[in-house]
Amino acid sequence: MLIYDIRFLFIYMFFVGNLIFVSKNKHLLVVLLSLEFIVLSIFFFFLVLLMFIDYDMYMLMVFLVFSVCEGSLGLSILVSMIRSHGNDYFQSFSML
Amino acid sequence: MFFFILTNNNSNKMFFLFILFFSTLISISSNSWFGCWIGLEINLLSFIPLISNSKNLLSVETSLKYFLTQSLASINFLFMILIKFSLLKNFNMNNIISIMMNSSLLMKMGSAPFHFWFPNIVEGLSWMNNFMLMTWQKISPMILLSYYFNKNFLIFMIIMNLIIGSLGGLNQTSLRKLLAFSSINNLGWMIFSIMISENLWLFYFLIYSMMIFMMISLFFLMNMYFMNQLFINNMNFFIKLNLLINFLSLGGLPPFMGFMPKWIIINFLLINKFYFLTFIFMMTSLIIIYYYIRIIYSSFMFNYFKMKWVNLLMKNNMSLINLSSFISISSMILSTFIFM
């Protein structure tokens, strides 16, 4: 892939993460992993952006805290789903 | 709603409710886009415990679907914020980046074409959680939408909202899904009103949330979730009258309160010569009123059963609903007295 600029890498990572999120998977955990991959791409992007503002990385830490909170919320929903359905397959959704 | 939460030994839900209110305030009043994103994240973090109680399978599936769509939308929103920041030019609002940012905010609201999760989730929630989802959760994406929107894109989205909200509700038997599609349609009106002015949006939103609160209170007190429960039961005449008034007010018929914000928006549309958009607004409103009247008609006249073993009386705590129906009828006339 031709990279003229570092921003193409971030867009590529972001796009791949979204692609895995919307693809048909068997497990829910793959979807949560793709969310974490998008978070990783945003982390990298944030890092490069903030390097141009005299290495001011505090916002990056705040972003990291919120993303970790969201990831743990996803995992707790996964645990709740396994407790009630027994597995994390998407095929066990039949109600709605 | 607060009485419901207090009586069921759910004091931790009060805590999450407080954080939910606070998160919207954080999101609206921040002076950078990053603060807006933080507010949206806290909103998600505090709403999920409100809707997931581990007593049935349905609530797990509901909270999972809600979490997946909302977290994807907010992560996309943050990425577009960063791209906007890195491009270092903020002067033109009608570009591709604003389309992407508006799309992620529309996905958070449940607007068409990102609406497919919304009737599913509404089907799995209780009435009070539905009320929170339909009213409070729309505030912060709407206001964020007003800060940076692409006019042509939003007008196209409004048309899709109106059409999908009206045509989607035609084949529904569940009351929750009916109100969900009605909510999608009203979202089209609200997005247009926020493009006009934020005060007008506030006016529309307050009246809409009052009407939805009346409807949801009525359904909650009678414990009704499906349409056949409306005309099988032996309801008192005044309960049916209340239902009639609330449904017609929600549809926007003239003597009732729900007509007023729609009137102002149509006034603006016609003065500024948006004729095609006016046509779409009118026609989709007609379809919605059709399916409301279909419900009320069968409740009042057509299937007039009075089963003696089911008896729905006017309960003690219905005085608020009666007062609000009175306000629905008389508010158009009373509002002319404001300017005297």
In B, minimum Cα distance to A83 occurs at: B54
Residue B235, helix vs strand vs coil: strand
Residue B295: CA count within 13 A, CB half-sphere: 27
Closest partner CB to B71 (pick from A14, A35, A80): A35
CB contact under 8 A, A38 and B75: yes
Place of tokens 């919304």: B118
**Number of residues assigned to chain A:** 96
In A, minimum Cα distance to B88 occurs at: A49
Burial status of residue B220 (CB atoms within 10 A of its CB: 0-12, 13-18, 19 or more): middle
Q: For A73-96, what is each residue's pLDDT tens digit?
A: 999 999 988 888 887 787 777 665
Please give, rounded to a whole number of angstroms, the shortest distance from the CA of A96 to a CA of chain B. Answer: 6
**Closest C-alpha to B266, from B252, B250, B287:** B252
Please give, rounded to a whole number of angstroms, the shortest distance from the CA of A27 to a CA of chain B. Answer: 13
Contacts of A93 in chain B (CB under 8 A): 61
Q: What are the structure tokens assigned to B5, written together?
A: 């939460």
CB contact under 8 A, A77 and B72: no
CB contact under 8 A, A77 and B67: yes
Closest partner CB to A21 (pick from B38, B56, B72): B72
Whether B96 and chain A come into contact, CB under 8 Å, resolves to no
Percentage of the residues of chain A whose pLDDT score is greater than 70: 91
Q: What are the structure tokens assigned to A14, written together?
A: 């972001």
Place of tokens 């419900």: B295
CB contact under 8 A, B61 and A42: no
Calculate the CA B314 to chain-centre distance.
Answer: 27
> Residue B320 corresponds to which amino acid?
L
Q: Give mean pLDDT, residues A58-82.
A: 93
In B, minimum Cα distance to A19 occurs at: B72
How far apart are alpha carbons B46 and B72 in whole angstroms?
17
CB contact under 8 A, B68 and A31: yes
How far apart are alpha carbons A17 and A19 in whole angstroms?
5
Please give, rounded to a whole number of angstroms, the shortest distance from the CA of A8 to a CA of chain B. Answer: 11
**Closest C-alpha to B152, from B111, B99, B97, B201:** B99
ipTM of the complex: 0.93
Chosen for mutation from B43, B62, B64, B88 (greatest number of chain A CBs closer than 10 Å) is: B64
> Residue B26 corresponds to which amino acid?
I
Average confidence score pLDDT of chain A: 88
How far apart are alpha carbons B1 and B127 in whole angstroms?
10
Place of tokens 């009373």: B334
**Closest C-alpha to B177, from B228, B121, B132, B219:** B121
Contacts of B60 in chain A (CB under 8 A): 77, 80-81, 84-85
pLDDT by position in tens, chain B (length 340):
455 555 555 777 888 999 999 999 999 999 999 999 999 999 999 999 998 875 677 888 899 999 999 999 999 999 999 999 888 777 777 788 899 999 999 999 999 899 999 999 999 888 988 999 999 999 999 999 999 999 999 999 999 999 999 999 999 989 999 999 999 999 999 999 999 999 999 999 999 999 999 889 888 888 889 888 877 776 777 788 888 888 899 988 888 888 999 999 999 999 999 999 999 999 999 999 998 998 888 777 765 666 666 666 666 567 777 777 888 888 877 777 776 5
How far apart are alpha carbons B242 and B114 in whole angstroms?
33
Query: Tell me, what's the pLDDT at A96?
Result: 55
Supply the DSSP symbol for B247: H
Q: Tell which B residues from 107 to 126 touch A, by Cβ distance under 8 Å.
A: 120-121, 123-124
Contacts of A90 in chain B (CB under 8 A): none
Chosen for mutation from A61, A69, A84 (greatest number of chain B CBs closer than 10 Å) is: A84
CB burial of B18-27 (b: ≥16 within 10 Å; e: otherwise) equals ebbeebbebb
> Residue B213 corresponds to which amino acid?
F
**Residue pair B265/B200 in contact by the 8 Å Cβ criterion:** yes
Place of tokens 């949006």: B201
Q: What are the structure tokens assigned to B259, written together?
A: 């007509």
Contacts of A7 in chain B (CB under 8 A): 83, 86
Locate all alpha helices (DSSP H) within chain B, ordered by sequence.
2-7, 11-28, 33-51, 57-87, 96-109, 117-124, 127-131, 137-147, 151-168, 175-196, 198-222, 228-232, 237-251, 259-271, 275-297, 319-335
Cβ-based neighbour number of residue A48 at 10 Å = 14
CB contact under 8 A, A84 and B57: yes
> Residue B293 corresponds to which amino acid?
I
The DSSP bridge partners found for residue B312 are B235
CB contact under 8 A, A46 and B82: yes
Residue B24, helix vs strand vs coil: helix
Inter-chain CB pairs, A–B, below 8 Å: 81
In B, minimum Cα distance to A80 occurs at: B60
How far apart are alpha carbons A89 and B80 in whole angstroms?
31
Query: Tell me, what's the pLDDT at B304?
Result: 64
How far apart are alpha carbons B54 and B68 in whole angstroms?
18
Please give, rounded to a whole number of angstroms, the shortest distance from the CA of A63 to a CA of chain B. Answer: 8
Closest partner CB to A74 (pick from B62, B65, B71): B71
Chosen for mutation from B41, B50, B56, B71 (greatest number of chain A CBs closer than 10 Å) is: B71
Whether the predicted model's global pTM rises above the 0.95 cut: no
Q: What are the structure tokens assigned to B230, written together?
A: 């409306």
Sign of CA dihedral B210, B212, B215, B218: negative
In chain A, what are the domain boundaries?
1-93
Query: According to the CATH classification, is domain A1-93 in 2.40.30.30?
Result: no
Contacts of B65 in chain A (CB under 8 A): 96
Residue B54, helix vs strand vs coil: coil
